[in-house]
Every structure is written in structure tokens, then in C-alpha cells.
């Protein structure tokens, strides 16, 4: 046990009760308690032998944008913004699984010689039908039809030698992209998502997300990492560890279940709808990673297996 308020053991000293009314908490900061309070219900307030604790309980408004996919990401659905009981379409999606066109979305300065970012496969599995999952891409469009965000599978998902699973030592990866300039065919990396299939008592989808800095693709800032159950699914979260507070969260259904991700984004992190689109496409990438990390002894649905020949730009 760590040191907390001078206590080094795990013994329960007591409990306190604080009444909280959230009626006004959505519009302003509210302090519910700030001061000393005795632990437990025994003893009078004047009894100096009774243990006391000094603490503050307060709430701060944390408004969020809420979005939901109208269908599974691989089915190219419409994305709705949810406000109470009202659902309004704000984005559309286009998913493709083009195995023959792996680099159409890469930025002009992409360095394929960089080992950190190169599209790697195990030599024994390269070009074997069904032994690698590559070329997946999903693009988010605004209501005018302009692309505002994209996720491109930059590193194929391949099984480790002698197994049917994507290992942590050789994860698949996505680039999360935003438009770069006025050209609809120019993209700039915003983030990088890795995913793999965890071994252990609970079969899990491991993931790691990092922001790409202005220094280029060779450096990144890790901001989220975790594991969720392959069977039950879970939630993907990003929290601001420096300033505190919620950044985004999205739901992910378990393997084989119909998944229509629900995405929440903190209002303070969105200056325009293009910002929100980045979080929406990131949620699509983590959801699609559940399928990309499916055991290679199982077949994928037809949406993941065809080669698209059309251009999306």
C-alpha cells in the first residue's frame, strides 16, 4: 500500500457521507464539501479522540458531443450526432479493403525505409491468401461531401509464426489522417493506432494510441493504452493526464457482435467538426481492429475480403 494521508496499511479507518445534488452541476462548478469531517458515525463533533479527515468534493461541468454510427463501420454508414432524443446526420463514411493499393493515402514525405513505420510481414506468410489483412481504409466525409478525416491500415495484421493470432511483438497499425491544405488528396498524420491479440486467461484486444508530432513520423506521444475483452468488448478512452479531464470515449462490441460505435468527445477538445471527425474515425479504427485481430483460423465477412478498384478522391 502507498502512503495516503499518513496511512501506510490497508485497514479501513471509517467512512463519510456527502450529499450531492447534480441538478445545477451541468452549467457551473459546485462545491459540495470543503473542510473536516469525522470518520464514521460514532462520537460527537467536539470529541477530539474521533478520527477526522479534511477533503473537498466538487463537480465541474464536462459537456460532450455524442456521435453514433448508423451501422457497422465496414458497411460505410452515416454517423449521427445525438442531442437528447434528437439524432442528426453529420458525417458519412466510406470503407474499402483494397489489398492492391496500400499507400494511396500516405503523406508525400512518408519514409518507407523507417523500420518503425514500414509495412512489415513475416516472410513465411507474405502473399499467402488469407494470411495477412491489409489495405483497409475508412474515410469520413462532412455533409458537403468533403473528406475531413481518414484511417488507413499502414502495417498489415499478420499472424506470428506458428500461430493464428496477431502478437504484441508484431502488431498491426493504422495511421489516423487529417486533410493537409486545400487538396482533397493530401493528408497529414495526426495519430497512430497499434492493435494486437493478447494472450492470457482472458482473450483480449490490446491497443496503443499515440499522437504524431510535428517532428515527423519517427516520434510520437503515447496517450492511451489498454486491453479489452474480445468476447464482451469494452470501451476505448483517452483522458488528459496533464490537465485532467475527459477527452474521448467510444464503445466496442465483442467479436462476432453487431457494432455501432457510440463516440463521446469533450467539447473543450473540439474547435470545428473536422476535429470531431478525427475522434470518430479513430473509434472506427479501434472497432475494425477487433476484426483485424480475429484468429486467422476464422474467416472474415465479405466486406473485408473484396478488392475495391474505385478511387475515393
Domain extent at residue 296: 64-304
Asked if residue 312 belongs to a domain, the reply is no
88 and 146 fall within a common domain: yes
Instruction: Give the pLDDT of residue 27.
Output: 72
Give the strand order in the sheet containing 246-252: 216-229, 204-213, 187-198, 172-179, 147-155, 136-141, 86-97, 78-83, 64-69, 262-266, 246-252, 234-239
Q: What is the pLDDT of residue 7?
A: 55
Per the structure, the count of domains in the chain is: 2
Q: Are residues 153 and 114 in the same domain?
A: yes
Specify whether 181 is located in the same domain as 70: yes
User: How far is it, in rounded angstroms, from Cα 39 to Cα 14?
Assistant: 5
39 and 178 together in one domain? no
Could you tell me if residue 107 is inside a domain? yes
How buried is residue 64: exposed, middle or buried, by Cβ count under 10 Å (0-12/13-18/19+)?
middle
Does a structural domain hold residue 281?
Answer: yes
Residue 311 lies in a domain: no
Q: Name the DSSP class of 302.
A: G
Please choose, from the candidates 207, 209, 187, the residue with its C-alpha nearest in 3D space to the C-alpha of residue 198.
207
DSSP string, 116-146: TTS----TTTTT-TTS-B--EEEEEE-TTS-
**Residue 313 counted as domain residue:** no
Final residue of a structural domain among 61, 80, 104: 61
- Do residues 124 and 142 share a domain? yes
**Measured distance CA(170)–CA(165) in Å, rounded:** 10
Cα–Cα distances in Å, from 264 out to 69, 141, 212, 251?
Answer: 12, 18, 22, 9
pLDDT value for 302: 82
Same domain for 134 and 90, yes or no, is yes
**Cα-to-chain-centroid distance, residue 116:** 21
**Mind listing the pLDDT tens digit of every residue in the chain (313 residues)?**
444 555 555 677 778 888 888 777 777 888 989 999 888 766 565 666 678 889 999 888 788 999 999 999 999 999 999 999 999 999 999 999 976 654 444 555 444 334 444 444 444 444 455 578 999 999 999 999 999 999 999 999 999 998 999 999 999 999 999 998 766 668 999 999 999 998 878 899 999 999 998 776 667 899 999 999 999 999 999 998 666 689 999 999 999 899 999 999 999 899 999 999 999 999 999 999 999 999 999 888 888 875 543 333 3
Q: What is the pLDDT of residue 257?
A: 93
31 beta partners: 58
Dist CA 126 CA 128 (whole Å): 6
Residues pairing with 234 in the sheet = 252
Q: Which of 234, 230, 226 is nearest to 206 (CA)?
A: 226
Residue 198: inside a domain, yes or no? Answer: yes
Give the containing element (helix H, strand E) for 57. Answer: strand 52-59
Helices (H), the chain: 273-292
Task: Tell which of 61, 85, 100 closes a domain.
Answer: 61
Are 20 and 128 found together in one domain?
Answer: no
Q: Are residues 235 and 183 in the same domain?
A: yes
Strand-pairing partners, residue 88, are 81
Based on the domain organization, do 11 and 107 belong to the same domain? Answer: no
In this structure, the answer to whether residues 45 and 93 fall within a common structural domain is no
SS3 for 263? strand
**Residue 177 near residue 190 (C-beta atoms within 8 A):** yes
| Residue 17 included in any domain | yes
**Cell numbers of 4, please?**
495516503
Structural domain contains residue 309: no
Last residue of a domain, one of 12, 45, 61: 61
Predicted confidence at residue 98, as pLDDT, reads 78
CA distances for 162 relative to 1, 158, 180, 198, 298, angstroms: 42, 11, 41, 16, 16
Residues 55 and 97 both lie in one domain: no
pLDDT of residue 124: 45
Same domain, 77 and 37: no
Amino acid at each position: 500500500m502507498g502512503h495516503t494521508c499518513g496511512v501506510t496499511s490497508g485497514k479501513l479507518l471509517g467512512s463519510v457521507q456527502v450529499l450531492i445534488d447534480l441538478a445545477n452541476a451541468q452549467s457551473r462548478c459546485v462545491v459540495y464539501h470543503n473542510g473536516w469531517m469525522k470518520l464514521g458515525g460514532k462520537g460527537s463533533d467536539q470529541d477530539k479522540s474521533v478520527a477526522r479527515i479534511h477533503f473537498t468534493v466538487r463537480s465541474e461541468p464536462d459537456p460532450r458531443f455524442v456521435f453514433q454510427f448508423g451501422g457497422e463501420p465496414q458497411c460505410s454508414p452515416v454517423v449521427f450526432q445525438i442531442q437528447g432524443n434528437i439524432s442528426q446526420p453529420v458525417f458519412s463514411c466510406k470503407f474499402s479493403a483494397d489489398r492492391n493499393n496500400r499507400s494511396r493515402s500516405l503523406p508525400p514525405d512518408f519514409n518507407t525505409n523507417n523500420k518503425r513505420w514500414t509495412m512489415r510481414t513475416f516472410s513465411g506468410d507474405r502473399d499467402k491468401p488469407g494470411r495477412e489483412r491489409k489495405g483497409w481504409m475508412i474515410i469520413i466525409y462532412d455533409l458537403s461531401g468533403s473528406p475531413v478525416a481518414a484511417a488507413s491500415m499502414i502495417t498489415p495484421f499478420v499472424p506470428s509464426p506458428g500461430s493464428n493470432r496477431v502478437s504484441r511483438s508484431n502488431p498491426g497499425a493504422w495511421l489516423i489522417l487529417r486533410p493537409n491544405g486545400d487538396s482533397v488528396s493530401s493528408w497529414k498524420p495526426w495519430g497512430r493506432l497499434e492493435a494486437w491479440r493478447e494472450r492470457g486467461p482472458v482473450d483480449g484486444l490490446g491497443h496503443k494510441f499515440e499522437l504524431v508530432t510535428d517532428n515527423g513520423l519517427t516520434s510520437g506521444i503515447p496517450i492511451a493504452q489498454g486491453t479489452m475483452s474480445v468476447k464482451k468488448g469494452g470501451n476505448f478512452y483517452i483522458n488528459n493526464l496533464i490537465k485532467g479531464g475527459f477527452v474521448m470515449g467510444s464503445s466496442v462490441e465483442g467479436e462476432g457482435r453487431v457494432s455501432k460505435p457510440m463516440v463521446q468527445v469533450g467539447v473543450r477538445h473540439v474547435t470545428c467538426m473536422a476535429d470531431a471527425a478525427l475522434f470518430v474515425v479513430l473509434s472506427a479504427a479501434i472497432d475494425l481492429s477487433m476484426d483485424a485481430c480475429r484468429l486467422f483460423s476464422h474467416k472474415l465477412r465479405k466486406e473485408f475480403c473484396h478488392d475495391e478498384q474505385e478511387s475515393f478522391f
